[in-house]
Amino acid sequence: MPEQTFDEITAQNPFTVVDFFATWCGPCKMLAPILSDVEKEVSDVAFIRVDVDQEPDLARRFGIMSIPTLVFLKNGEEVIRTVGLQRKPELLAKLAELKTK
């Protein structure tokens, strides 16, 4: 995803979750279906997947050191960050926290 498209999506959505991943990453592969389930349940949050190998500038911009990393944005600003595999209840709790910050 080009950085300009990324910026447009985050500007248009008050709540965004960015999944920084790589195709070779085992935990990233395990997280993908969990995120997909959460995305189906939550309609007021935009979900973006960023392959760190394809978009190294975005990964650098966010200081991504480990994957998977989820960055929760409110009005384009980072509010929460998680690193590693997250379970569905944890993700739903983070989304609730994001909306109250």
Region 36-61: mean pLDDT is: 94
**Predicted structure pTM score:** 0.94
Q: Of 67 and 3, which is predicted with more confidence?
A: 67
Average pLDDT, the chain: 94
- Is 28 marked active-site? yes
pLDDT of 3 strictly over 90: no
Catalytic hit among 25, 45, 64, 98: 25
- CA distances, 3 to each of 6, 9, 54, 66, 68 (Å): 5, 10, 11, 20, 19
Give the pLDDT band of residue 58 (cuts 50, 70, 90). very high
Closest by CA to 41, choosing from 89, 78, 81, is 89
pLDDT at 2: 73
Catalytic hit among 28, 48, 73, 98: 28
Domain architecture of the chain: domains with CATH: 3-100 (3.40.30.10)
Work out whether strand 46-51 and strand 69-74 pair parallel, antiparallel, or are unpaired.
unpaired
- Is 30 marked active-site? no
